[in-house]
Chains A and B, each alone.
Chain A
Amino acid sequence: MEAKVANDWRLRGQRYRLEGERCGHCGAAIFPPRDICPECGKPAKTPAPLSGRGEVYTFSTVYNAPEGFEPYTPYTVALVKLEEGPVVTAQLTDVAPKDVQIGMPVEMVTRRLRTHGEEGTIVYGYKFRPRVGA
C-alpha cells in the first residue's frame, strides 16, 4: 500500500495525543472527532484532549495481520473504554497476550503503528498499556 502521507498527517492530533472533542452543549467527550455530538446531536467542534486512561472492554490477539502490520504479530487489539466515556479501538502494548483481561486498567502511550516500507514514512499513534507507577 502506498504511503498515505496527507491522510496520516491529517490525523496527527488524534493519533499522537488522542485529541478528541468536547460538546459545548451537553459536555460529552467525543472520540474520534465527529464535529456533531453523538449524545445530543448538536455541533461540537472544540478540540479537547482526553486523559488517555481507561480499561479494557474486550480484546483479541491477532495472529494473521493485515499488510503493513505483519512485523508485529502476534499483537493484541482491544476496545478501551476511556474514563471520559468514549470507546477507542487500539492495540495494547508492553503486555503479554496471556496477561490481558477485560476490565484491566490501561493508559495511552504513543508508539509506532507501522512503517510504509523501508523508504516511506513511519506512522505513530496511540496504543494502550497496563498503567505504570502510582
Chain B
Amino acid sequence: MRDVAIIGIGQTPVDEHWTTGIRHLMLEAGLSALQDAAIETVDAVYVGNMLSGEIAGQSQLGALAVDFMGLGNTEAFKVEAACASGAAALRVGTMAVASGMANLVLALGVEKMTDTGGRETTAALAAAADAEYEAGQGISFVALNALLMQRYMYEYGWKHEDFANFAVTAHANGVNNPNAMFQSRISAEAYARAPMIATPVGLLDASPVCDGAAAVVLAPAEYARALSPAPVKIRASAVGMAPLAVHSRKDPLALEAARTSAHKAYQLANVKPEDLDFFELHDAFTIMAALSLEASGFAERGKGVQLALDGEITLQGRVPIATMGGLKARGHPVGATGIYQVVEAVLQLRGLAGANQLPNARLGMTQNIGGSGATIITHILEGMG
C-alpha cells in the first residue's frame, strides 16, 4: 500500500445558499480544490452526501458531479454514512490511491439542507437512526443526542450550563473563519437562555441546518511534493462501528465506535493523543464533543466536560478543538462536514489558518460521526512541509 497525501483543498462558505443548488455547490468546491492542486482532472470522484435523495430528489450524485464539473467519464459515485459521509468519501478515495487503483482522486462532500421546511429536514435527518425502531417512534436526531446528554448529566452530575464552553469556544473560533456560517461570538448567558429543542439539548447545543460543499485532492505521497508546495500526509484513516440504534449499545455513553476508530488511528500512525496539536472533532451537539474527547483518549469517562470548563479546548489550550468554528459555528452541512474538517486541518498544517493559526501545528486529527455514533471515522494528518 502507498502512503496518501492531500495536495489540494476547496470549500464553499457554509451558509443558507438560497441561490445555489446542490450541483453548483459541488462544482464550486470541486473546481476550487482542483485549482488549488493545480490539476485539471482526476481518476475518480467520490461524493460524500447524506440527504440528496430525501431533500433534492437526486440520486447518482457522482454522475451529476463529473457531468457538471466537466470531468466527462471520470469514475464517480456517492458514499453514504449519514453525517460521516464526508469522511467516508475521503476514506474510499484514500483506499483507491493507497491501493494503486487510482493516482489522483477528488473526495468531495456536499449537503443542501435548506430546500425543505424544518419538519421535513428533521424527518430526513432522523433517517440516520434506525428507521423502524428509533425514527418510527417519533424520535428526532436531536432527541437521540438529548437522550445521551440526559443520561450523561445523570451519571456524572454535570449541569446543562457546564457544557456552555463547547459552544462558546466554537463561536469564538468561527469569528475568524470567513467560510463559517456564524462569525459571531456567543456568551454563556445566551447559551443558558437558548430555547430547548429536545431537553436538555438547547438551540445553542446544536449545530445549524445549512448548505455547503468541500473537497480535497488526493495523490500518492511519494509524488505529493512534486505536485504541491505544502502537501499533507494522511497518516491514518480508521473506521469504528457500533450498533445502529442507541438502544442496542451495551454502554451508550462509551461512544464505542469513536474509541475503536481513534485507537486504530493512533496505532496506524504510531502516535498518542498527546502528540496531536489539535483535534477537529464532531461537535454536532455539545454532548458529542464531550463523548468524543473521552472516547478518543483526551479525558477519562465523565470528564470530557471538564476540559471545556478548564479552557483546555481553546486555541491556547491543551487540546484545541473546532479550531475554525467546528460544526457548531462553521456549520454542519451533514455529508460535507467530514471534508470541511479535513480542509480546515490542512489549513492549520499549511500554516494558513489566519488569526486562528496554531503555532507549529504539525499533527492533527479529524473525527466524523455518523448518526448517533454507529459509524465513526477518524483521520490523522501530518504536514509534509
- Contact assessment for A75 and B198 in the assembled complex, using a CB-CB cutoff below 8 Å: no
B138 neighbours in A (Cβ, 8 Å): 62, 65-66, 68-69, 72, 75, 77, 91, 113-114
Closest 9 CB pairs of A and B: A60-B146, A58-B151, A66-B123, A67-B123, A69-B138, A87-B247, A67-B119, A66-B122, A61-B199
Residue in B123, B147, B245 whose beta carbon sits within 8 Å of that of A58 in the complex? B147
**Nearest B residue (CB) for A15:** B136
CB distance from A15 to the nearest CB of B (A): 8
Residue in A14, A66, A88 whose beta carbon sits within 8 Å of that of B126 in the complex? A66
Q: Is B118 at the interface (CB under 8 A from chain A)?
A: yes
Number of residues from B at the complex interface, CB < 8 A? 37
The CA-CA distance from A68 to B126 in the complex, in Å, is: 12
The CA-CA distance from A82 to B150 in the complex, in Å, is: 19
Q: Using a CB–CB distance below 8 Å, which chain B residues touch chain A?
A: 118-120, 122-123, 126, 130, 132-140, 142-143, 146-151, 154, 195-201, 245-248, 252
- Contact assessment for A89 and B197 in the assembled complex, using a CB-CB cutoff below 8 Å: no
B247 neighbours in A (Cβ, 8 Å): 79, 86-89
B123 neighbours in A (Cβ, 8 Å): 1, 66-68
B134 neighbours in A (Cβ, 8 Å): 89
- Contact assessment for A91 and B119 in the assembled complex, using a CB-CB cutoff below 8 Å: no
The CA-CA distance from A67 to B136 in the complex, in Å, is: 11
Q: Using a CB–CB distance below 8 Å, which chain A residues touch chain B?
A: 1, 7, 11, 14, 32, 38, 57-70, 72, 75, 77-79, 86-91, 97, 102, 113-114, 125
The CA-CA distance from A70 to B118 in the complex, in Å, is: 11
CB distance from B195 to the nearest CB of A (A): 8
Residue in B132, B147, B148, B197 whose beta carbon sits within 8 Å of that of A64 in the complex? B197
- Contact assessment for B196 and A59 in the assembled complex, using a CB-CB cutoff below 8 Å: no
Residue in A60, A62, A67, A89 whose beta carbon sits within 8 Å of that of B150 in the complex? A60
A-B contact count, CB below 8 Å? 106
**Nearest B residue (CB) for A75:** B138
**Nearest A residue (CB) for B151:** A58
A69 neighbours in B (Cβ, 8 Å): 138
- Contact assessment for A59 and B119 in the assembled complex, using a CB-CB cutoff below 8 Å: no
- Contact assessment for A113 and B136 in the assembled complex, using a CB-CB cutoff below 8 Å: yes
- Contact assessment for B119 and A57 in the assembled complex, using a CB-CB cutoff below 8 Å: no
**Nearest A residue (CB) for B119:** A67
- Known contacts A58-B147, A58-B154; decide if A66 and B133 are in contact (CB<8 Å): no
Residue in A61, A68, A77 whose beta carbon sits within 8 Å of that of B196 in the complex? A61
CB distance from B224 to the nearest CB of A (A): 44
- Contact assessment for A89 and B199 in the assembled complex, using a CB-CB cutoff below 8 Å: no
- Contact assessment for B132 and A32 in the assembled complex, using a CB-CB cutoff below 8 Å: yes
CB distance from B284 to the nearest CB of A (A): 15
- Contact assessment for A97 and B199 in the assembled complex, using a CB-CB cutoff below 8 Å: yes
**Nearest B residue (CB) for A127:** B137
The CA-CA distance from A72 to B119 in the complex, in Å, is: 13
The CA-CA distance from A38 to B247 in the complex, in Å, is: 12
- Known contacts A58-B150, A67-B123, A77-B139; decide if A89 and B246 are in contact (CB<8 Å): yes
**Nearest A residue (CB) for B149:** A60
A7 neighbours in B (Cβ, 8 Å): 132
B200 neighbours in A (Cβ, 8 Å): 60
- Known contacts A60-B143, A77-B139; decide if A65 and B151 are in contact (CB<8 Å): no
A57 neighbours in B (Cβ, 8 Å): 151
Provide 15 A-B residue pairs closer than 8 Å at the C-beta atoms, listed in order of the A residue. Answer: A58-B147, A60-B199, A61-B199, A62-B142, A63-B197, A64-B197, A66-B122, A70-B119, A79-B151, A79-B247, A79-B252, A88-B133, A88-B247, A90-B137, A125-B137
- Contact assessment for B199 and A65 in the assembled complex, using a CB-CB cutoff below 8 Å: no
**Nearest A residue (CB) for B120:** A67
- Contact assessment for B147 and A77 in the assembled complex, using a CB-CB cutoff below 8 Å: yes
CB distance from A48 to the nearest CB of B (A): 17
- Known contacts A11-B132, A60-B150, A88-B247; decide if A77 and B137 are in contact (CB<8 Å): yes
CB distance from B82 to the nearest CB of A (A): 15
CB distance from A111 to the nearest CB of B (A): 11
B136 neighbours in A (Cβ, 8 Å): 11, 113, 125
